[in-house]
A and B are shown apart, each in its own frame.
Chain A
Amino acid sequence: MDIFIGILEQGMIYAILALGIYITYKILNFPDLTVDGSFPLGAAVTAYLMTNSGDFVSVITLSHNPYIICVYALIAGSIAGLVTGIIHVKFNIRDLISGIITMTGLYSINLRIAGSANVPIFNYDTIFSNSLMGSIFPESLLKYKVIIIATIITLGTKIILDLYLKTKSGFLLRAVGNNQVLVTTLAKDSGNVKILGLVIGNAIVSLSGSILMQQQGFFEITMGTGTMVLGLASVIIGTNVFKKAKFMKATTSVIFGSIIYKAAMSAAMDISFTKASDMKLVTAILFLVILVFSEGKKKKVKADA
């Protein structure tokens, strides 16, 4: 039971990350490595605001409130996405390289923001533990507190995203990833649409960094390493496993993908012939198996047609 709770907690928090990567990778068709920097960026902003709360400025900007801090993390992430977008679109730098440039710069910026490579926040109010949450949750539900809060945020993000993708602006974003030329013939600057997508994606990734940091209780400069791979795994698992489930929205699949990924990782830790140090190998194999599986099917469909 506790193992399930742990998987759901981690799966739900990382699902937000996966939703952000879903926007850039699937919708925008942009392999955005910025996320390795924007994920810890959200955490760094959170660390800074929390440990500096109490002064005059923080009272005015409401940055002592962990929920408002999440908004600041969103804003920070969107700036990171904007930078990558401008580098790519305005300076004509390749997508992968643009992301790498921003990610590399963010490493130093994150260190500056957080003030130190490791910032614990065990004694600060977080979105998971504060007086309000303490009074809302009855004793019996305390065990599920993290899951409930993380699920609310994840579902909230998903619903807003779903609604957005049905707006005119959302249509254009979906179109630009699928067919950039079409957007141009619609008399719209496809570059700006791409930038918008990167802004949205990285804002969500940064939000997830803030939330994960509040849950794990500390900021660590290395926490961004492998973010892209992890999020991508969730997106690919989700969208491929549930490909046939037409009634399910892609965003929902991605959330399940994140939970499945965490479950598989947890299982890998416990299977007798694997250990934690094999987890990256397990990720790689899982990746490959799922991709080969779904690619194989695609080819078959084509051959049939």
Chain B
Amino acid sequence: MLELKKIYKIFNKGTIHESELFHDFNLKVEKNEFISIIGNNGSGKTSLINIICGSLEIDSGQVSFDGEDITNKKEFQRYSKIGRVYQEPSIGTCTDMTVLENMSLADNKGKSYNLTRGIRKNRIESYKERLRELDLDLENKLNVKVGELSGGQRQAMALLMATMTPIEYLILDEHTAALDPKVADIIMKLTEKIVKEKKLTTIMVTHNINYALEYGNRLIMMNQGEIILDESDFKKNSITAAEILSIY
């Protein structure tokens, strides 16, 4: 369970551009929930996940994982339980390194990055297996630098890498926004599959209302730092894209 309590956040404090985004913001995410978050630019969606991950500091309030207060934990420490995929495919991968090296790098998350070999030979087959499932021909490009792959291939890799090791939460930060529609569909299907397989608690920020309605079991709409719509499973299924757009 992930919980945000009484979150306050003011940007540009003390300047004429001062603006308050979160004022007593609260959110509870139950285990195995798949939340889709939609909202205008500036509604606070991305700030919200940045606060969860620790890349944005809050003025006051509490963030907790399973009852444990992690407000003061650093960003990198929080990622031991979180996998995150960004909008820009290159952020989720290391473009100067090969597919195999990237997979190995991610496979070692949670363990020591010591002076033993970076690539474990006995793992190569399992990497290939997973890449083959993507059906993007990546299993034959193990020694190609990730920078030479297409955006879709890279994002698929980023998703694989983020979920390779045991994590509890998956944060998706508009992870299909930079892809063309066909590839975006593939990535969404893959996301759903992984979330189900690994039983991940997922928060997905998206601009795509259809994805928000199609995937996940809870829908949140935000506006100016407040939740203006929060619908769970059964009700969500009856909402249409048109209805959403009317309050957007």
Q: Do chains A and B touch in the complex (CB under 8 A)?
A: yes
Are B91 and A169 touching (Cβ within 8 A)?
A: no
> Is A243 an interface position by the 8 A CB rule?
no
Interface residues of B in 90-144 (CB under 8 A from A): 90-97, 101, 104-106, 108-110, 112-119
> Is B11 an interface position by the 8 A CB rule?
no
**Cβ distance A244 to chain B, nearest Cβ, rounded Å:** 15
Given contacts A182-B92, A184-B79, A186-B106, contact A167 B116 (CB under 8 A): yes
CA distance A188 to B105 in the complex (A): 12
> Is A171 an interface position by the 8 A CB rule?
yes
Chain B residue numbers with a CB within 8 Å of A169 are 113-115
Given contacts A171-B113, A182-B92, contact A189 B118 (CB under 8 A): no
**Cβ distance A164 to chain B, nearest Cβ, rounded Å:** 7
Contacts across chains A and B counted by CB atoms under 8 Å: 80
Are A175 and B94 touching (Cβ within 8 A)?
A: yes
Given contacts A178-B97, A182-B91, A187-B110, contact A172 B75 (CB under 8 A): no
Chain A residue numbers with a CB within 8 Å of B96 are 174, 177-178
> Is A297 an interface position by the 8 A CB rule?
no
Chain B residue numbers with a CB within 8 Å of A168 are 108, 112-118
Chain B residue numbers with a CB within 8 Å of A130 are none
Residue of A with least CB distance to B85: A185
* Proximity string of chain A (106-129) to chain B, C-beta cutoff 8 Å, 1 when within and 0 when not: 000000000000000000000000
Given contacts A171-B104, A178-B97, A179-B95, contact A166 B117 (CB under 8 A): yes
**Cβ distance A152 to chain B, nearest Cβ, rounded Å:** 23
Are B97 and A174 touching (Cβ within 8 A)?
A: yes
Are B79 and A175 touching (Cβ within 8 A)?
A: no
Are A189 and B115 touching (Cβ within 8 A)?
A: no
> Is A181 an interface position by the 8 A CB rule?
yes
Main SS at interface, chain B: loop
**Cβ distance B239 to chain A, nearest Cβ, rounded Å:** 33
Given contacts A184-B79, A185-B79, A190-B76, contact A171 B105 (CB under 8 A): yes
Residue of A with least CB distance to B81: A187
Are B79 and A187 touching (Cβ within 8 A)?
A: yes
Residue of B with least CB distance to A192: B76
Are A167 and B76 touching (Cβ within 8 A)?
A: no
Are B94 and A178 touching (Cβ within 8 A)?
A: yes
Interface residues of B in 197-240 (CB under 8 A from A): none
**Cβ distance A280 to chain B, nearest Cβ, rounded Å:** 32
* Proximity string of chain A (47-74) to chain B, C-beta cutoff 8 Å, 1 when within and 0 when not: 0000000000000000000000000000
Are A166 and B119 touching (Cβ within 8 A)?
A: yes
What are 13 A-B contacts defined by CB distance under 8 Å? A164-B115, A167-B116, A168-B115, A168-B117, A171-B101, A171-B105, A179-B90, A179-B94, A185-B82, A185-B92, A185-B162, A188-B76, A189-B76
Seen from chain B, the residues whose Cβ lies within 8 Å of a Cβ on chain A are 74-77, 79-80, 82-84, 86, 90-97, 101, 104-106, 108-110, 112-119, 162
Seen from chain A, the residues whose Cβ lies within 8 Å of a Cβ on chain B are 164, 166-172, 174-175, 177-179, 181-190
